[in-house]
Structure 1
């Protein structure tokens, strides 16, 4: 079945946001008399949305859960700092602009589907020059469910009047892969993102968005999107 539209994750897929996320997380930690964490450590905490990031950053534990009152204060602090740090160092990854332009030249409608809150998603797309590429932008709080739930992908499909198998999801984590699987959509994962995808079976692994364009051009020749391909 040919690809008729493409949905893309944001952090770790379109934009390298970790420096600004880490700066905001450490500013939050300092407000609670906690020492800074290395950026690489905070990078391992990305995925699952802002609330999860705050839990992990406050506890320095990927499975940690901060006390509810501490978490509430942490979220408020993180948001305040991230508002001012949103696009200080954040930049599109190499190949993103070329890939998006090629997709648009093919006439494919594009969506951003991220677990990042919408209050940060829209302005960071605007400040990095990517906003005009996308017809649909869904943040982690735009709908009652977020990735890995299929609702965001199915919502985009409904808006465009296409089947889930005609929507290609491109991301960098198991959240993206699982959302695509749950929706019945093909999924390509980028090797440069914040999650280790080496062991994640999906439609394919790619090094940049330009490679995704080649996949789309040949998608109709694939007998099934259900065949995992980790390489």
Structure 2
């Protein structure tokens, strides 16, 4: 992170691919949906590359393995309804925390940083998942993909959190695993940290415009602490 800049007072953290590996949940729900539509199962790798841009993009991408654009449109509503039903039934059952997440959140909390979770996941999925995995108590604010008129990579969710916290974007760092997170945060004027282990639509996160790559949320907390000690 750049030296000589102001103190960081808040963090915005992505959910899928940043705090939780949720591909196993997606994989189960999608293949149950595909079975409902009499389609063959697909692999977890195929699912992973479609995660991160919201449920509509996910379902359209899954259907595109079998249908042209007209077929995707024709089957979309039934597929989305089936997917949502199956996902809600297993939400969090197969998801796992990445290493350093709880330790990192605890360290950020101990620094008195305000915390928000901003995800493109529907809020009806995000809130129960945060509760089930013990992450909910760390966050003052949670925004899902449909909570605001525009979602990541648009900067609107990041700017809304800054407004909610009454902070300038330069006092806020966003942590995520994909170009969506980086683009949204950069456009908002926030700091950007990226983790390399999540879902970036099949591309390396090193291609994204960030202020640093951190191996875990705990490393992110250490970096922010070091920055704040030297900020002026």
Answer whether TM exceeds 0.5 for this pair. yes
Higher relative contact order (CA 8 A, sep 6+): 2
The question of whether the paired residues in 2 share the 8 Å contact of 1:55 and 1:66 is answered with: no
The answer for the alignment partner of 1:131 in structure 2 is 136
Counterpart-to-counterpart distance in 2, 1:85 and 1:65: 30
CA RMSD of aligned residues (A): 1.8
Relative to the length of structure 1, the TM-score reads: 0.92
The answer for the alignment partner of 1:75 in structure 2 is 80
TM-aligned CA distance change 1:54 to 1:66, over 3 Å = farther
Counterpart-to-counterpart distance in 2, 1:92 and 1:67: 33
- Helix, strand or coil for the counterpart of 2:40? coil
Per-residue deviation, 1:64: 6.6
List per-residue Cα deviations over 1:71-106 (Å, max 9, x = no partner): 111111110000111011112111000000000000
Equivalent pairs counted in the alignment come to 222
The answer for the alignment partner of 2:154 in structure 1 is 149
- Helix, strand or coil for the counterpart of 1:206? coil
The answer for the alignment partner of 1:93 in structure 2 is 98
The question of whether the paired residues in 1 share the 8 Å contact of 2:170 and 2:191 is answered with: yes
The question of whether the paired residues in 2 share the 8 Å contact of 1:145 and 1:152 is answered with: yes
Alignment of 1:213-224 (within 5 A): 213-220=221-228, 221=230
Per-residue deviation, 1:219: 2.7
Runs of 5+ consecutive residues of structure 2 not aligned to the other structure: 1-5
Structure 1 residue 8 corresponds to structure 2 residue 16: no
Counterpart-to-counterpart distance in 1, 2:227 and 2:70: 42
Runs of 4+ residues deviating >4 angstroms: 63-66, 220-223
Relative to the length of structure 2, the TM-score reads: 0.91
Counterpart-to-counterpart distance in 2, 1:50 and 1:100: 26
Per-residue deviation, 1:16: 0.8
The question of whether the paired residues in 2 share the 8 Å contact of 1:12 and 1:193 is answered with: yes
Counterpart-to-counterpart distance in 2, 1:17 and 1:100: 18
